[in-house]
Structure 1
Amino acid sequence: MRRLITALCLAALLAGCQSPSATQDYDASRDFAGYRSWSWQTPALQYRPDDPRIKSDLTEQRIRQAVAEQLDQRGLRAAAPGANGDLKVQAYLIVDNRQQQVTTNYGNPWGPWGYWGGPMGGAGWGETRTLNYQVATLQLDLLDSRDGKLVWRGSTEQVVADNPTPAQRTQVIQKGVARILANYPPR
């Protein structure tokens, strides 16, 4: 049992060490230097699934603030209220249920000889467990407001933590948006 707990802790530690990454895609034919302002698409944030346990005005407020700060750092200014910016911004928060199988092998205490039928004989045994968890994907789409076409998309994923504090939620969203927009504008 001690080995099982150690293996599960090690798997959790390794999963925690993997820093989330972001992916981007964009229309290479667009002149991103020409985009100077932005405004929110309606609706600004869409949830998948549309579940009241996920949907939150507080989450939307955090995402809106993080996006506004990051776009401002990149030289894009928010359009005046009621005006369209050069870009329309739309965010998606997608939560998926996922599973991972973890197998723990228990060997013979006498080392490899036990596996190969050596003098101590016998073989080890293993146990496979299924871990259920949720992954949140935050996706940002930037659309050209003149023709409505998608010109840039970025996303990042993160395992959903159990019972995060409001400060932790804010920090996760800020870091996620910064990761997504790290390579905007494309070079």
Structure 2
Amino acid sequence: MLRRLFSLMLLATLAACATGPEVRVDYDRNADFARYRTFGWVTPLGTDRSGYTTLTTDRLKAAVEREMAARGYAYSPTAPDLLVNFHGRLQERVQISGGAPYAPFPYYGYRQYGAWPGYAFASGPFVDQYTEGTINIDLVDRRRDALVWEGVAIGRVTERDRIYPQERIDASVAAIFSRYPYIAGRGTPAPAR
């Protein structure tokens, strides 16, 4: 019995570690993705503040450069086919869930008195406070000045994420680009990885 319980706890822990951000994507179905071979940055990027580049911007640029290069896109500081922009947001969230008050029927069978509230079958509300992080990555057709693809990752920000932000940014950007099916110069989506 103890082994079974330990195995279940280990499985639950591994499943919790395997979960990543929720990823959503959208794209222009009329865009000719075969035309795109190079990328550059929107100026200023959405994560820059007060006229200077933030650490978050540098981390996002490094992660996006890696993902774009893996798909065959070359960086071009002048006249790129695609312009890349980012947006990021941290937001405090509160999630309330809970049950009904204690059981409304007699707890001890034939006696007509209710249970002590400590024996309740459902507790009052459970309040979960956490920080939610959102990263948007936009790919813009520079010639048309039109958004052609957008990926968004939404997830909980943990204390570890705050200590090691590059790890979380890398993982989130990789999760977003796992849903980007194109390779530079090809108009048909590549098979999923």
TM-score, length-normalised on structure 1? 0.73
Residue number in structure 1 paired with 2:67: 70
Q: Distance in 2 between matches of 1:132 and 1:30?
A: 41
Calculate the aligned-residue CA RMSD, in Å: 3.2
Residue number in structure 2 paired with 1:35: 36
Match of 1:154 among 151, 154, 157: 151
Match of 2:167 among 165, 171, 176: 171
Structure that is richer in strand per residue: 1
The 3-state SS of whatever aligns with 2:159 is coil
TM-score, length-normalised on structure 2? 0.71
**Once the 2 structures are TM-superposed, how far is the Cα of residue 105 of structure 1 from its aligned partner?**
7.0
The 3-state SS of whatever aligns with 1:133 is strand
Residue number in structure 2 paired with 1:94: 89
Q: Distance in 2 between matches of 1:62 and 1:30?
A: 28
Matched residues, percent identical? Answer: 28
Q: Distance in 1 between matches of 2:110 and 2:170?
A: 59
Q: Distance in 2 between matches of 1:128 and 1:16?
A: 26
| Residue 118 (1) aligns with residue 109 (2) | yes
**Contact persistence 1:156–1:180 (CA under 8 A):** yes
Consecutive unaligned residues in structure 1, runs of 5 or more:
1-12
The amino acid of 1:91's aligned partner reads: F
- What CA deviation, in whole Å up to 9, does each residue of 1:97-122 have, x standing for no partner? 211113267968xxx972xx733652
**Contact persistence 2:47–2:57 (CA under 8 A):** no
Q: Distance in 2 between matches of 1:164 and 1:150?
A: 30
Distance 1:145 1:139, change over 3 A: same
Consecutive unaligned residues in structure 2, runs of 5 or more:
1-12, 183-188
**Once the 2 structures are TM-superposed, how far is the Cα of residue 46 of structure 1 from its aligned partner?**
2.9
**Once the 2 structures are TM-superposed, how far is the Cα of residue 95 of structure 1 from its aligned partner?**
1.6
